[in-house]
Chain A
């Protein structure tokens, strides 16, 4: 997938989904508006083209995606939608047909809460959907404003508030998920290290024991070697202390079925990676 980083993966997926929704949503809106003679095509076309371009760009950069790329794509997609909505909503309002104002803006604000890769980008996008709706309302003719349902355009602020809360909730959940994964990865690395140390200790204990007994045997056989054997004994003592120090990692280790026979693969586990590097 994109990369190992969960934030990057979320950013890429969010931007990609937003671009797809832009293409699909604008296409559907265009089909619904085809009976409106004054409705221009270019806002839909531009928005859809931007969406398609972003989809292609995101697919090309899929293996090299970053959170910044996802955020930039998401923001560009939002701007294209907002421009299109600014133009088309005015035409919808002037048709004189029954019309629920700023549906796309409300839907867009909620979609941002579900897809925005970062808090800043998300809040800016939600604010954009709300500002476009309110701004558009106030540039319309007062006669048109009067036929708007009661409470419009201020309902968009309720949607924006809900969208903002959902966005924060979702991003905090993702941050918590990433933290849990990080802690789990650290715990796994620590256990792997502990396992390596314990295996290393087991691997060296018998050789140390052999050297220790050999020293005593030679000491009994040859008194001439005393100074040399004393040095050897001190070396064994230091190795024994190291072994005892490594024993501290035993408690961090969870044994699983089959670990009892770890000697079989001891060489591979301890020295396999080194051999592969050579």
Chain B
């Protein structure tokens, strides 16, 4: 457990996203460290998960961290992703929810941002929308990103995360 690292990013709308759940609440993390983790702590090789649904995002962070034994950073929006800056580029795989909420930048914007910043790792879209939804159609046009439709099972999530290792 102690080797696992979690990082939360402040979301002015939803509060503290990716905050420790009761599962790992016992891990002593100083309040200052939660608000601003030193860069080396985040490092590289983590799973980046962009999802606007607080419950699902925190759950995936917990699942990946506790069950799959991988570091995971959950962010709720495109703005939060940008707030990570160059740190985000250290992820080994980026899982992006396509629709990040009404009237907000989408997961496709997050994809474009990552690629623009020079991220070359795998990017996977996760969506609950219909395959004919305009945002999903737009995501399908992106050649180097896979799209998975919610709900997926834990094994599929594991295979997505482990793929870059193989």
Contact = CB atoms under 8 A, between A and B. Distances in A.
Interface stretch (B32-40, B76-84, B110-118, B145-153): B145-153
A213 B157 CA distance: 10
Interface of A: 198, 201-202, 205-206, 208-210, 212-214, 216-217, 220-221, 236, 239-240, 243, 247, 250-251, 253, 255, 259-264
Given A209-B128, A212-B153, A212-B154, A220 B66 contact: yes
22 contacts: A202-B129, A205-B149, A205-B151, A206-B53, A206-B150, A210-B56, A212-B151, A214-B59, A216-B63, A216-B67, A216-B153, A217-B23, A217-B59, A221-B66, A247-B149, A250-B131, A250-B132, A253-B130, A260-B99, A260-B133, A261-B102, A264-B103
A205 B150 contact: yes
A198 B134 CA distance: 13
Interface of B: 23, 53, 55-56, 59-60, 62-63, 66-67, 99, 101-103, 128-135, 149-154, 157
Contacts of A260: 99, 133-135
A106 B151 CA distance: 74
Contacts of A217: 23, 59, 62-63, 66-67
Given A210-B53, A221-B23, A255 B63 contact: no
A239 B67 CA distance: 24
A259 B120 CA distance: 32
Contact of A209 (B102, B103, B131, B152): B152
Cβ-closest 5 pairs across A and B? A205-B128, A264-B102, A216-B154, A209-B151, A250-B130
Contacts of A198: 130
Nearest to A199: B130
Contacts of A255: 132-134
Contact of B99 (A213, A221, A239, A263): A263
Given A201-B130, A216-B63, A209 B150 contact: yes
A206 B66 contact: no
B63 A240 contact: no
